[in-house]
Amino acid sequence: MSRSCPVALLSVVVLAIGCSSPMIGRTSTLAPASAAPELARVNTLLADLAERLRPGLVHVRVQRATSAPDDAPREEPVEPRRSTGSGFVIDASGLIVTNAHVVDGATTIQLRLADGRRFKGTVVGRDNRVDLALLKIDGATNLTVLPLGDSNRLRVGELVLALGHPFGLEQTVSFGIVSRKGAPLDVAVQGFDFIQTDAAINPGNSGGPLVNVAGEVIGVNSMVARNGTIGFAIPASLVQMLLPQLASKGRVDWGWLGVAISEVTDDDLDRLKLREARGVLVRRVMPGEPADQGGVRANDVIIGIDGLRLETPRDLQRVVSSTPVGKRVRVALLRDGLETEVEVTIGLYQDSEAATPEPSERTPRPPAPVPR
């Protein structure tokens, strides 16, 4: 009896160990994780939207000539500089929207579509002040056009997607919101506001579309703040306004008055004999320019153009810049407290002008963004 006890005890120990060990050759089945129905639906819709937009995205590859250093041997070949950017199809005829800085100085432009087809691109039109360019490819069929939406109706907090080819990585999508509207940038045409977003915009995203949840392009990704966390896009409403000129003339003719302006402050009221601080104060009139020829004087306060009420310098900058060159407009103004009206013919802004169109002396400027 005493001999059988150790054997029985050993059997019990082995049995216990066997029961506590993992089962060899068998796997446990875990229940699949599931998201809340509402979140799952949003997730699916965003993925479907990105998939639907990608065929309209274009990879822009650019070669630029590089001059050899002065001390380089003459027989040594000079490699061209290469860079990449983004764009999107705006018309089934083969028109592509991108940034001007993407194709600036390009000797060769190659456009790669989402399906892998490659075409040689040509510049139809370009405007460096807004950083917008229109390209053309010939012989392409079955192009997916991305429609332009109404960026004027855009609200802060709306969900957006930024599409492009950052760092040469093709068909990339980032997700975010509209962080701010009305972001004034000193590198763009004064009076026109850019869209600010926290959707990631990296080198190579330039020229790609910023898209709302309806699949409409509401902006063209253009630049980012130096800290890299805030991106800016050209509003679709401005793009829509400029495309006809880019397509027909290859450039944009911007309106010009030739005045230096600022806001009207409470300190100006007594001096200008005003009852309230409104309108746009003319600080200086440039000799021989349209405003001077039309009779506008320093210390005049412009309150309207062709019946359109003006409240701030940005209002005047926007209206004048977008008014056709050569058009004669009625300028309503206050002079010595009395309302009067003069007629001015809108002039053509020249890049060589020392001042920007209708420069504002008191317009706040954010940290300078950098192109992407």
Q: Of the listed 59, 83, 86, 101, which one is catalytic?
A: 101
Please tell me the distance from the alpha carbon of residue 343 to that of residue 329, in angstroms, as a whole number.
6
Q: How do beta strands 106-113 and 57-64 pair?
A: antiparallel
Question: Is residue 101 among the annotated active site residues?
Answer: yes
| C-beta of residue 371 within 8 angstroms of C-beta of residue 131 | yes
Closest C-alpha among 102, 107, 135, 105 to residue 121: 135
- CB burial of 204-220 (b: ≥16 within 10 Å; e: otherwise) equals bbbbbbbbbeebbbbbb
Please tell me the distance from the alpha carbon of residue 126 to that of residue 355, in angstroms, as a whole number.
21
Measured CA to CA in angstroms, residue 88 lies from 14, 138, 369 at distances of: 70, 15, 23
- CB burial of 268-289 (b: ≥16 within 10 Å; e: otherwise) equals beeebebeeeebbbbebbbeeb
Please tell me the distance from the alpha carbon of residue 187 to that of residue 223, in angstroms, as a whole number.
10
Question: Is residue 150 among the annotated active site residues?
Answer: no
Question: Is residue 28 among the annotated active site residues?
Answer: no
Other Cβ atoms less than 10 A from the Cβ of 295: the count is: 16
Q: Of the listed 151, 206, 237, 360, which one is catalytic?
A: 206
Q: Of the listed 131, 193, 300, 315, which one is catalytic?
A: 131
Tell me the CB-side half-sphere exposure of residue 286, using CA atoms within 13 A: 16
Phi/psi at 210 (5° precision): -100, 120
Burial class of residue 35 in the structure, from the number of CB atoms within 10 Å of its CB (0-12 exposed, 13-18 middle, 19+ buried): exposed
Q: Which amino acid is at 125?
A: G
Closest C-alpha among 242, 226, 244, 245 to residue 234: 242
Please tell me the distance from the alpha carbon of residue 156 to that of residue 65, in angstroms, as a whole number.
42
Consecutive H or E run containing 209: strand 209-212
Please tell me the distance from the alpha carbon of residue 81 to that of residue 83, in angstroms, as a whole number.
7
Catalytic residue list: 101, 131, 206
